[in-house]
Amino acid sequence: MTTTPEAATVLSGGLDDSFHVFDTTLRDGAQREGINLTVADKLTIARHLDDFGVGFIEGGWPGANPRDTEFFARARAEIDFKNAQLVAFGATRRAGGSAAEDPQVRALLESGAPVITLVAKSHDRHVELALRTTLDENLEMVRDTVSHLVERGRRVFVDCEHFFDGYRANPEYAKAVVRTAHEAGADVVILCDTNGGMLPAQVTATVATVLADTGARLGIHAQDDTGCAVANTLAAVDAGATHVQCTANGYGERVGNANLFPVVAALEIKYGRKVLPDGALAEMTRISHAIAEVVNLTPSTHQPYVGVSAFAHKAGLHASAIKVDPDLYQHIDPERVGNTMRMLVSDMAGRASIELKGKELGVDLGGDRALISRVVERVKERELQGYTYEAADASFELLLRAEAEGRARKYFRIESWRAIVEDRPDGTHANEATVKLWAKGERIVATAEGNGPVNALDRALRVALERFYPQLAKFELVDYKVRILEGTHGTESTTRVLVSTSDGVRDWSTVGVAPNVIAASWQALEDAFTYGLLRAGVEPAE
């Protein structure tokens, strides 16, 4: 391990600074086609990454767009980071100017981030074609910007963009950029395979040479265009890099970046190098899926370590041998990364996991084998229809209690509901919903308007029930996600809706599935209200 003396400070998470896990999901990951993050999304992801224990979270480019500027302001105010330091990304100053007077550089300082990553050109042709300046001026831009920021108390990392291609074209110039950044006070110089065309053997050789020739502390930033981003990252570590830049689930431009999860798992498990806080690795599967939900992409079932198929075994031939010694058929124990072994011919939700889950939720199944089997059957049946309980604990708990208690908890009984959406000639919309239901022996008909049909239904339900259950006033829908299953049938497909509700203290998630987005939303809403009342300790009374 190569450690420069100035990098020997201890991070808040208790990991020393000699190896950096640097996450750029919020900056480079957001470049993935189809990802479009709100500030709220970015804050949520930052919390997950901090929980996971990465050392650095690159949050965006403050000053480049209002969203990133807002993110830094809110992240500082709202997040109490346990492990990570927040990093602002920006560029070296403009050609011909000075760092002190560059508004983009000023925005980096104003972001308040303690660490700044500066992107610098290190490929001679890019300096000439993209920056349209001289090779010497580019070096001066690096030197001036790095030292300006370092003088103002910031820790500076320098991303050498297109480094590997640049090194092949003009190795002396590429190394001069590294040396300049290092001498100007950059703590780490990151060699970036921006176009992603490298293979591991090339990465190892290049990193080793640059390390020997410059003496700088080096990092690696790999893109997955050859399908080797994880391997390239590890190849750089093999050659002495001590800083790895990755993104959650490998999100990123074109085919993506080096995937944080297999990189970290390889370092911890295969290399035996501690790079995360205690216990963090076992949260990896959960965090990978949670981040996928936030960016609204289906978690990849076949992602190494964390995919639901990652430890799925087709039984048959090997079943008995797996029983004797599962380690013979798995490269690691899936529990180390928070995943589980699955036998594909057997139940998706096995009896043992249902029992464990019941315990976790405080529902005592008392080892009742018949009951557990019924729950397993019910989950299988519902998952076949498109339900998912992994992201809808509250709906699962309602299902579990319904089986354990012999009947479902009911605070109200729906007779019918209706939603109308009308587009008027003047371009405005009317959304109106009517709910007819019974609660505590009374029949109520309530109508409400909303800014959409689901919102109108939500309001009508509140209007109908709040007299009986004043607790409802505190419930707020905090997230609403729609996914279409069976993508080949367009608008005739099955729709799955996940709703998160909060009572100001805790959040719970519910699921609804129907061919109809409104009906699916209604199911999730009904579960959300029921669960909230259950948690509030209200006695059921239709």
Nearer Cβ to a copy of itself, position 115 or 231? 231
The yes or no reply on residue 416 touching a copy of itself (CB under 8 A) is yes
Looking at residues 30 to 59 of the shown chain, list those that interact with a copy of itself (rule: CB under 8 A).
Answer: 31-34, 36, 38, 40-41, 44
Nearer Cβ to a copy of itself, position 354 or 391? 391
The yes or no reply on residue 530 touching a copy of itself (CB under 8 A) is no
Q: Which helix (H) or strand (E) holds 494?
A: strand 494-502
CA dihedral angle for residue 207, residue 211, residue 213, residue 214, rounded to 10 degrees? 120
For residues 482-494, one letter each, b for 16 or more C-beta atoms within 10 angstroms of the residue's C-beta and e for the rest, the string is: ebeeeeeeeeeeb
Nearer Cβ to a copy of itself, position 215 or 515? 515
Rounded to whole angstroms, how far apart are CA atoms 331 and 455?
A: 48
Nearer Cβ to a copy of itself, position 368 or 390? 390
Among 9, 12, 134, 298, binds a copy of itself (CB under 8 A): 298
The yes or no reply on residue 485 touching a copy of itself (CB under 8 A) is yes
CA distances from 61 to 44, 146, 269 (A): 18, 16, 33
Rounded to whole angstroms, how far apart are CA atoms 109 and 401?
A: 54
The helix/strand/coil state of 472 is helix
Nearer Cβ to a copy of itself, position 8 or 315? 315
Burial of 177 (0-12, 13-18, 19+ CB in 10 A): buried
Burial of 361 (0-12, 13-18, 19+ CB in 10 A): middle
CA distances from 368 to 331, 372, 374, 408 (A): 34, 6, 10, 19
Nearer Cβ to a copy of itself, position 219 or 307? 307
Least distance between a copy of itself and beta carbon 528 (Å): 10
Cβ distance 491 to 513 under 8 Å?
Answer: no
Among 296, 340, 447, 471, binds a copy of itself (CB under 8 A): 296
Pairing, β 312-313 against β 342-343: parallel
Looking at residues 5 to 34 of the shown chain, list those that interact with a copy of itself (rule: CB under 8 A).
Answer: 31-34
Count of positions on this chain that bind a copy of itself (CB under 8 A):
126
Q: Single out the segment in contact with a copy of itself by CB under 8 A; choices: 148-156, 264-272, 367-375, 438-446.
A: 264-272
Least distance between a copy of itself and beta carbon 7 (Å): 25
* Interface pattern 92-111 for a copy of itself (x via CB under 8 A): --------------------
Among 5, 172, 370, 422, binds a copy of itself (CB under 8 A): 422
Nearer Cβ to a copy of itself, position 16 or 432? 432
Least distance between a copy of itself and beta carbon 114 (Å): 26
Task: Identify the sign of the CA torsion 36, 42, 48, 50.
Answer: positive
CA distances from 376 to 315, 349, 394 (A): 19, 6, 17
Least distance between a copy of itself and beta carbon 145 (Å): 17
CA distances from 317 to 291, 314, 332 (A): 36, 9, 20
Q: Six-digit token pair at 63? A: 């000053």
Among 82, 359, 369, 429, binds a copy of itself (CB under 8 A): 429
Looking at residues 382 to 401 of the shown chain, list those that interact with a copy of itself (rule: CB under 8 A).
Answer: 388, 390-391
Least distance between a copy of itself and beta carbon 184 (Å): 23
Least distance between a copy of itself and beta carbon 112 (Å): 23
The yes or no reply on residue 350 touching a copy of itself (CB under 8 A) is no
Among 71, 305, 529, 531, binds a copy of itself (CB under 8 A): 305
Cβ distance 478 to 454 under 8 Å?
Answer: no
Q: Six-digit token pair at 105? A: 């550089």
Rounded to whole angstroms, how far apart are CA atoms 103 and 331?
A: 51
The yes or no reply on residue 272 touching a copy of itself (CB under 8 A) is no
Among 329, 359, 377, 443, binds a copy of itself (CB under 8 A): 329
Burial of 516 (0-12, 13-18, 19+ CB in 10 A): exposed
Looking at residues 449 to 478 of the shown chain, list those that interact with a copy of itself (rule: CB under 8 A).
Answer: 450-455, 458, 476-478
Among 20, 93, 94, 123, binds a copy of itself (CB under 8 A): 123
Among 418, 438, 447, 471, binds a copy of itself (CB under 8 A): 418
Rounded to whole angstroms, how far apart are CA atoms 430 and 96?
A: 57
Least distance between a copy of itself and beta carbon 151 (Å): 27
Least distance between a copy of itself and beta carbon 58 (Å): 16
The yes or no reply on residue 514 touching a copy of itself (CB under 8 A) is yes
Nearer Cβ to a copy of itself, position 202 or 471? 202
Contacts of residue 115, Cβ cutoff 8 Å, sequence gap at least 6: 56, 85, 86, 87, 88, 154, 155, 156, 157
Looking at residues 168 to 207 of the shown chain, list those that interact with a copy of itself (rule: CB under 8 A).
Answer: 195-197, 199-201
